[in-house]
Structure 1
Amino acid sequence: MTSAERIGQLFMGAAKVPTTSAADLAVLRRYDVGSVILIGRSEVGVWRTRALADRLQSLKRTTKAGRAGLLVAVDQEGGQVQVLSGPGFSPIPAALEQGRWSVARLRGRAEQWAAQLRSAGVNVDLAPVGDVVPARIGMANGPIGRYGRQFGATPDVVARQGSAFVEGFSRAGVLTTLKHFPGLGRVSGNTDTTEQVTDTTLTRDSADVASFRSGIEAGAGLVMVSLATYALIDPAHKAVFSPTVVTGMLRQDLGFQGVIVSDDLGKAASVRSVAPGQRAVSFLRAGGDLVLTVNNAVLPAMVEAVSYAARHDAAFKARTEASVRRVLTAKETAGVLRCGS
C-alpha cells in the first residue's frame, strides 16, 4: 500500500443514508478513507441500503497487491438508536428490553439482525453498549439511561447480555463494537452535546469494566473509547486521548488485540476546543487505531496532521503502522480484504 493508503486506513468517515452527496464521496476518495459510518435515518430497507454500500465499496480500487475494501459501520443498537429500517430490517427493541431476554433468545435474535445488516452490505455494528447505568441513576444518565440503551443496572447483567449480542453477530459474520469504554453509565452529561463531561466514581478496577472484558472474550472485534474524562483514572486527559485508558486499561489490563475506535471526533461538543488535526494525532498517540468522524469536513486537516506526524516522528509512524495492521486484520475477518498473488 502507498503511504496515503495506509494513512487512510486509520480513518472512518461518514456517508448519509439512504443517499450521500457527491462532495462527501469525493472527500472519501481523495483521502483514501478506509472505513465509513452510515449516518442519518433511513427507512428504505435492505436492498437500497446495499446499493449505497456497494457504491461506497467501489471507491476502493483493486491493484496487483490486492484490494482493501471498506469497513461499513452503522449504529444499530435498537430502540431509539436504529439507523436502518424498512423492508428487510426488523424493528429492534431497546437494549433495556433485550436485557430481560434469555441469553439464547438474544443470541438468536442478534444473529438475525446481523444477517440483515450483512445483506445490506454493512459489516460492522457500532453496538452493543457495554455501559452500566445503576438503578439509582437511571434516566438521569444523559447519554445512555435516558434512552434505555443499557442492557441493565448491574455489571453481571450487562456482561451476560452484551456477550450474547456479540456472539449472535459473530455467527452471522458481522463485527461488533463494545462502547463506550471505560463506561458512560455514571455521568449526567452527553459528550455529543456537552463540552465537559466527567466521571468522578469509576476506577481502573471498577466492576463496571467487567462488561467490556466479557464482550472482548466473547469476540468483539472493536472497542469504542468515550470522550468523557475519568477523574480517578486520568484527570488530565479525556479517555479518548488517554494512554492510561487506551493502552493501559484496554490493551494491557483487558488484553484487547482488536481495533480501538474513537467516539465521534468530528462534531462532538466534548472535543470542540481541540483542533481537528490534534484530535486525530492525540487519539492515535494514546494507542487508538481508527479515528471516527461524522463530519467529513474535518478529514483533510486530520489526515494532514497524521501524515505530518508520521513523517517526522518514527515512534508515531511505528504506532500507526501497527494500527493499520489491526484494521486490515478486521477487514480480513469481515471478508473485504483480498491480497494479490
Structure 2
Amino acid sequence: MIGFDTNAPLESLDDEITDGHVGNVIYLGGWEGFDKVRSTSEHLEGLVSDASTGGVGLIIAADQEGGIVHQLRGEGFTRPPRALDQAQQSPAELTEAAAGWGEEIASAGVNLNLAPVADTVPEEIGTANEPIGRWGRQFGSDPEVVGEYVAAFLDGMSQAGVEGIVKHFPGLGRVTGNTDFTAEGIEDTVATVEDPFLEPFVAGMDAGASMVMMSSALYPNIDPENQALYSSAVVTDLLRDRLGWDGVVITDDVNAAALSDIPAGERAVRFIGAGGDIVLNGDPNATGEMLDAIRAEMAADPAFAEQVEASVTRVLTLKDEMGLLPCSAAS
C-alpha cells in the first residue's frame, strides 16, 4: 500500500500501479474537499486493468479516526471528534455516527478506513502516552469498554460499505514515545501474551475488522529482540495462532522514525517473513526497492515464497469480500 500525498500530481502513482502492479493506495497529507478526493479516486480506479492489476480493484484507504487524525477534510467531510469524545455517547450512538462518516468517505471512493484505534491507555499514563493518550485517540482506559466502542465504530463503517481495521497490535497504550517521530521510548515492558489490553483487538476482529495493523514498538516479554511488526512471536504465534486471526495483517507506515535505520527493502522482507501481508509505505520512492527485495528473497528462499503466496491469498480473499475481484459476487 503506497502513499498518495495531497500535494502530488494526479498521475504520480500511475507507474507504480500500471507497471509495478501495486494494488493498494492510502491518501496522506490532509486532502481538502470532497471533489478532489472523488476525482482522484476515479482516476485511480481508471488504472485498473488486466495488464496492471489483473483486473483486481484497488483498496483506497484513508486515516479517518477523528480528532487530530483525519486525512479527509474540508467541504463534504465531517471531522469526527477524537475517540475519547466519541466514547461519551453510547455504543449505539457511535455506530450511527460512524455510519454517517463512512457514507461520506465511501462516496469519495474510499473503501478502507484505517481506524479505529484499539489501544487502551491506562489512567495513570494518560497524556504522557505520546502516540495515543496525548491526543485522546483511545476510547478509554478499560479494555472491556474500549472493545465495545471499537466494535461499534466498525459496525458503523460496515453499514456504510467501508472496511475498518484495528490498530496498533498488540497495543501502544503504555509506551511513551511516538514511533512516527522517534526510536526512543517505544517499549512496553508490561505486555504479555495474556495481556487484558489485547481484548479490544479481539473484539474488533470478532466485529468484522478487515485488517490488523501492527505496532512498531518493542514488547520484550513477548519478543525481546524484534519490534512487533518484525516478530514472528507477535504476528504469527500470538496474533494468528493464539488469537486465531487468519485475515490480513498490515504495517503502520514503514517510513516511521522507529524503523529508519533499516534499509527499505529489508523492512518489507522482514515483515512478510514474520507473517504479515501488506506493507504500508508512505514514500512511493521506496516502492521499487521494496519490490526488488521481496522478489529476490522469494527466489532465494522457497519458504519465504510460500509466505508471499499465502499473503496474496489473504489479500485477494479480502478483496473478493469487498467486491473488487472481477468474479466477486459483490462486484
Give the TM-score normalised by the residue count of structure 1.
0.92
Deviation for aligned residue 1:163: 0.6
SS in 2 for 1:38: strand
- For structure 1, the residue ranges without an aligned partner over 5 or more in a row are 1-11
- Partners of 2:238 and 2:111 in 1: how far apart? 27
Partner of 1:322: 310
What is the CA deviation profile of residues 173-201 of structure 1, one whole-angstrom value per residue up to 9, with x for unaligned ones? 21111000000000000001111421111
1:154 corresponds to 2:142: yes
Instruction: State yes or no: 1:302 paired with 2:290.
Output: yes
The number of residues matched between the two structures is 327
Residues 10, 40 of structure 2: 8 Å contact kept:
no
Q: Any idea what the Cα deviations from partners look like across 1:21-80, whole Å, max 9, x if unmatched?
A: 5444333433111101100112212x32111011112222136x9611110011000011
Partners of 2:258 and 2:298 in 1: CA distance: 26
In structure 1, give the amino acid aligned to 2:127. M
For the residues of structure 1 that align with 2:221 and 2:54, how far apart are their CA atoms? 46
Please give the TM-score of this superposition, normalised by the length of structure 2: 0.95
Measure the CA separation in 2 of the matches of 1:152 and 1:181: 16
Which among 25, 33, 36 is matched to residue 36 of structure 1?
25
Instruction: Pick closer, same or farther for the CA change 1:195–1:313 going to 2, 3 Å.
Output: same
Q: 1:191-216 deviations in whole A, cap 9, x for unaligned?
A: 01111421111111110000100000
Q: Counterpart in 2 of 1:9?
A: none
Q: 1:300 to 1:19 in 2, by over 3 A?
A: closer
Question: Is contact 2:33–2:76 with CA below 8 Å preserved after alignment?
Answer: no
Unaligned runs of 5+ in 2: none
Matched to 2:279, the amino acid is V
Other structure's SS at 2:315 match:
helix
**Alignment partner of 1:179: what SS?**
strand
1:131–1:185 CA contact under 8 A, matched in 2: yes
Confirm whether residue 258 of structure 1 aligns to residue 252 of structure 2. Answer: no
Task: Tell me the equivalent position of 1:231.
Answer: 220
Aligned to 1:7: none
Matched, 1:104 2:107: no
Q: 2: CA distance between counterparts of 1:25 and 1:269?
A: 27
% identity of equivalent residues: 43
- 1:311 aligns to 2:295 (yes or no): no
Residues in 2 aligned to 1:29 and 1:96: alpha-carbon distance in whole angstroms = 41
Aligned to 1:4: none
CA distance in 2 between counterparts of 1:113 and 1:296 reads: 28
Aligned partner of 1:58: which letter?
G
Aligned to 2:115: 127
d(CA) in 2 for partners of 1:258, 1:202:
23
Q: Give the counterpart of 2:73 among 78, 85, 92.
A: 85
- Specify the alignment match of 1:207 in structure 2: 196
Distance 1:203 1:36 in 2: 33
CA–CA distance in structure 1, aligned partners of residues 311 and 284 of structure 2: 21
1:280 aligns to 2:268 (yes or no) = yes
Letter aligned with residue 233 of structure 2: T
Matching residue of 1:249: 238
Match of 1:5 in 2: none
The answer to whether structure 1 residue 193 and structure 2 residue 185 are counterparts is no
- AA partner of residue 209 (structure 2): A
1:198 alignment partner, SS class: coil
Letter in 1 for 2:226: H
Compute the displacement of 1:167 (Å). 1.1
Whole-Å separation in 2 of the counterparts to 1:296 and 1:29: 14
State the superposition RMSD in angstroms.
1.7
Aligned to 1:140: 128
SS state at 2:201 partner? helix
What secondary structure, in the 3-state scheme, does the structure 1 residue paired with 2:55 have?
Answer: strand
**Map of 1:3 onto structure 2:** none
Q: Is the 8 A contact 1:18 1:52 kept in 2?
A: no
Which aligned segments of 4 or more residues in structure 1 are displaced greater than 4 angstroms?
A: none
TM-superposed CA distance for 1:88, in Å, is 2.3
Report the 3-state secondary structure (helix = DSSP H, G, I; strand = E; otherwise coil) of the residue aligned with 1:292.
Answer: coil
Whole-Å separation in 2 of the counterparts to 1:116 and 1:337 = 24
Q: Is the 8 A contact 1:17 1:39 kept in 2?
A: yes
